[in-house]
Structure 1
Amino acid sequence: MNEYNERSTWRRMRALLSINDPRWGRSEGNGETKPRANESKRPPGGDGEGPPDLDEMWRNFNRRLGGLFGGKGGNGFRPDNGRAARVGVGIVIGVLVAVYAGSGLFVVPEGQTGVVLQMGRLAGTVGQGVHWRAPYPFASHEIVDTSQGRSIEIGRSNVVRLANVKEASMLTRDADIVDVRFSVQYRVRSATDYLFRSADPDRSVTQAAQAAVRAIVGTRSAADVLSQDRDALRQQLTEAIRRDLDRYQTGLEVTSVTMQSVAAPEQTQAAYGEVAKARDEREAAKRTAQVYANDLLPKAQGDAAKLIDEAKAYSERVVTQAEGDAERFKQVYAQYSKAPAVIRERMYLETMQEIYSNSTKIFVGNKGGNNVLYLPLDKLVEQGRHGAASAAAPAGASAADGTSASAPAAAAMPPASAAAAASAAGGDTLRSREGFRSRSREDDLK
């Protein structure tokens, strides 16, 4: 029974594999004779240029398999042998299984990362090289380029329809508008987050960059944004975009930000140009004032230090002189306590000596006995002034002027007048001394 089943299976396979046989469909019992082994296998009536006979090819294949596995070769091989059929089917199945298993091999190029999925779930990541995973549909893989840099431009000249403004227009703190254009360079840092947490990487980077630039520009005035250092603004944008991308776990990393332009809108560029010109002039004036201050301050500080030193020296001199006067007064007072009248007389004489040494003196004699005196005071005073102006030293000039003025006056006056004047002057002096002495005596009695 088993042999019959094997023979039937073999016949069905022969019928399936010999479709191109020109004798296909003709049974062996229809009166036709089987071809002999030494006869040509070409279809009858052919010219030898037709397609090969698949039935004959199958027979040759079976003969060779029979020779390999110990069967009879040549004309003694029986195609109905069940063992040979099983071997052939096993080989075919093995080849198919090997091809199916080999479909799980994949290669990850340099600079890329492979992500392996098993039954739809993440199984792991692999690096550069040849790897194997379970064939489809049990497993699959995705290859992500993690070394290639990508770039996206922010602030293009496109006009937003709803707001009727350019995409690059940003609102500042003082309600002004500035156009900010820059580009963001980024790459994939985490392949798994890039595949499963970021639906549109370019859109994620664009939204993060726009949010960052609006947050930075919105907290500053237009003048600050236009005059701010581009490197500082670029650094702030880079840090803000990185924070946003890390917070949403997009698997992307910002490598750099390139500032293209920060300018006022075209409608207000003329006004901003004037403002910038005024700002430059102000800065130039500030620099000039700073240079002048740097030149003036050292001089003023030197003059102040000099005045302070002079004031200290004057203070010390005055204090020393006052202390000396006080000490001298104490000494004089000690002597005055012993002889008050003598001390008063001496003080009076010293005072009068000091007064007369700095004043113009006129000596008049009254030897002739003439009581009428002629004193040209205006001329005498004028001569004294000229003499004081031409003198080198004030004290010497005063003494010289007094002597010179008294000599002509004495020469011009008559002898009687000169004697009378001298007598009057002497009498006045004696009267003054007597009055001073009387006052001193009264003080002593008191």
Structure 2
Amino acid sequence: MSPQNESKSGPPDLDKVASEMLHKYKMLSGGKFKTGVSVLILVLLSMTAYTSLYTVPSDSVAVVLRFGKFQEVLRPGLHLKVPLGIDRVNIVPTKRQLKQEFGFSTPGATDPDQNINPNNNIRSTRSSISPANDQVAETQMVTGDLNTALVEWVIQYRIADPKNYLFEVRDPAGTLRYVSESVMREVVGDRTVDEVITIGRQEIEVEALRKMQALASQYVMGISIDQVQLKNINPPVPVQASFNEVNQAQQEKEKLINEARREYNRIIPLAEGERDQRIREADGYRLKRINEAEGDALRFNALFAEYQQAPEVTRRRIYLETMQEVMPTIKDKIIIDNAALGVLPLLNLTPPSIQKIKGQQP
């Protein structure tokens, strides 16, 4: 074909050229091309379906990002996402109670933010600084009376808003650690060392919880602090023995006070009961004497009225009534006639016991 005819026919058809090349490849491969493509497509579909499925645990929620932008929050269960890195899923444990420890570490802890580590250590980033030294450093605090105390504590918190937790603060767990240490130093610095070590623990926990939650809300961290609990509070090692003696003396003081109160509670009610009993007995005796005196006065008045009407009869009756009361009390009675003469009165001075012994002798 001449160049002139080629210019008239125009450029070659690309679809036709591709079809011819594909036909030649099929002829060379012996018909295996279709099977290989099918297998490749099936593998790609399987991988896409596998990467699209994910499960959210029962104590967590899923925060879905599409092209790096927040999309939605999904509840626990089985969900689908757009594959090939279009959707990214962050699992946030919203129903699990998390904690951070200060000054000590629990062996076997799985949460990296539970204890101090190089990622959340604000004092030093050198690898030569051991975590034990960092833990001691975060417990050293100055009290309001310019003394030093080693304070260990734990905070327990939950993730209340997963969106704010992930996007409002760059490192919410590390920020919470800094906030907790700052607040605890402020609260301890407002009290004396005796209050921190002995009687002020509960007040420190309550005030620290209130201030930590206020700062967490101010920074929009998406965190709800449930509890602040003080653990060991000790003085520095050089003065620890003296503080232990002071604590023992205070405990002995409290023991003696409690024993005195127990003795007070035992004796005072008995004394008060005895006092009330004697008062009631005195009132009863008073009423009895008054009634008896009034009765005697009425009886005497009645008797005197009768005496005025018949003096001799009344005198005789009084004599007989008196003798009736007296005579039964006399053991031996001797009746002598007024006309009897020559009777010698005898006063026996021998005790009855001696008379009884003499009477038994032969």
The yes-or-no answer on 1:146 pairing with 2:100 is no
3-state secondary structure, aligned to 2:11: helix
What is aligned with 1:191? 162
What is aligned with 1:283? 254
The yes-or-no answer on 1:123 pairing with 2:71 is yes
- CA shift for structure 1 position 275: 1.9
CA distance in 2, matches of 1:302, 1:256: 48
Change (3 A) 1:149 1:289: closer
Q: Which of 300, 308, 318 lines up with 2:279 in the alignment? A: 308
3-state secondary structure, aligned to 1:6: coil
CA RMSD of aligned residues (A): 5.1
Q: Which of 16, 23, 31 lines up with 1:62 in the alignment? A: 23
Q: Could you state the TM-score of these two structures normalised by the residue count of structure 2? A: 0.53
CA distance in 1, matches of 2:20, 2:279: 129
- CA shift for structure 1 position 189: 4.2
Change (3 A) 1:184 1:287: closer
CA distance in 2, matches of 1:322, 1:218: 78
Q: Which amino acid aligns with 2:271?
A: A
Q: Which amino acid aligns with 2:24?
A: R
3-state secondary structure, aligned to 1:313: helix
What is aligned with 2:222? 251
Asked if 2 retains the 8 angstrom alpha-carbon contact of 1:159 and 1:167, the reply is no
What is aligned with 1:227? 198
CA distance in 2, matches of 1:106, 1:300: 84
What is aligned with 2:242? 271
Asked if 1 retains the 8 angstrom alpha-carbon contact of 2:216 and 2:223, the reply is yes
Change (3 A) 1:329 1:61: same
3-state secondary structure, aligned to 2:80: strand
CA distance in 2, matches of 1:333, 1:174: 91
Give the unaligned 5+ runs of structure 1: 15-57, 66-72, 75-90, 347-402, 405-446
Describe the superposition over 1:15-51 as per-residue Cα deviations: whole angstroms up to 9, x where unpaired. Answer: xxxxxxxxxxxxxxxxxxxxxxxxxxxxxxxxxxxxx
Describe the superposition over 1:242-264 as per-residue Cα deviations: whole angstroms up to 9, x where unpaired. Answer: 55434533123446656441122
The yes-or-no answer on 1:180 pairing with 2:151 is yes
CA distance in 2, matches of 1:116, 1:160: 35
CA distance in 2, matches of 1:207, 1:217: 16
Instruction: Count the aligned residue pairs.
Output: 264
3-state secondary structure, aligned to 1:281: helix
Higher RCO, Cα 8 Å, sep 6+? 2
Describe the superposition over 1:312-365 as per-residue Cα deviations: whole angstroms up to 9, x where unpaired. Answer: 1221133124324543565587689999xx9xxx9xxxxxxxxxxxxxxxxxxx
Describe the superposition over 1:56-92 as per-residue Cα deviations: whole angstroms up to 9, x where unpaired. Answer: xx97633367xxxxxxx79xxxxxxxxxxxxxxxx9x
What is aligned with 1:261? 232
CA distance in 2, matches of 1:160, 1:117: 34
What is aligned with 1:5? 11
Asked if 2 retains the 8 angstrom alpha-carbon contact of 1:198 and 1:251, the reply is no
Q: Which amino acid aligns with 2:10?
A: Y
Asked if 1 retains the 8 angstrom alpha-carbon contact of 2:149 and 2:193, the reply is yes
Change (3 A) 1:113 1:311: closer
CA distance in 1, matches of 2:242, 2:303: 86
Change (3 A) 1:313 1:188: closer
CA distance in 2, matches of 1:5, 1:313: 140
Structure showing greater Rg: 1
What is aligned with 1:210? 181
Asked if 1 retains the 8 angstrom alpha-carbon contact of 2:103 and 2:138, the reply is yes
Q: Which amino acid aligns with 1:271?
A: S
- CA shift for structure 1 position 278: 1.5
CA distance in 2, matches of 1:59, 1:242: 73
Describe the superposition over 1:191-238 as per-residue Cα deviations: whole angstroms up to 9, x where unpaired. Answer: 311221112223321133235534654565543432359789767756
What is aligned with 2:108? none
Deviates more, 1:329-338 or 1:200-209: 329-338
CA distance in 2, matches of 1:189, 1:152: 16
Q: Within 5 A, what are the aligned runs for 1:289-438?
A: 289-324=260-295, 326-327=297-298, 330=301
Change (3 A) 1:195 1:217: same
Give the unaligned 5+ runs of structure 2: 1-6, 29-36, 105-115, 125-135, 316-345, 348-362
What is aligned with 1:432? none
CA distance in 2, matches of 1:149, 1:302: 56
Q: Percent identity?
A: 22
Deviates more, 1:117-126 or 1:194-203: 117-126
Q: Which amino acid aligns with 1:316?
A: L
Asked if 2 retains the 8 angstrom alpha-carbon contact of 1:117 and 1:123, the reply is yes
Asked if 1 retains the 8 angstrom alpha-carbon contact of 2:195 and 2:201, the reply is no
CA distance in 2, matches of 1:263, 1:233: 15
Change (3 A) 1:150 1:306: closer
Describe the superposition over 1:259-283 as per-residue Cα deviations: whole angstroms up to 9, x where unpaired. Answer: 4411223343233222212212112
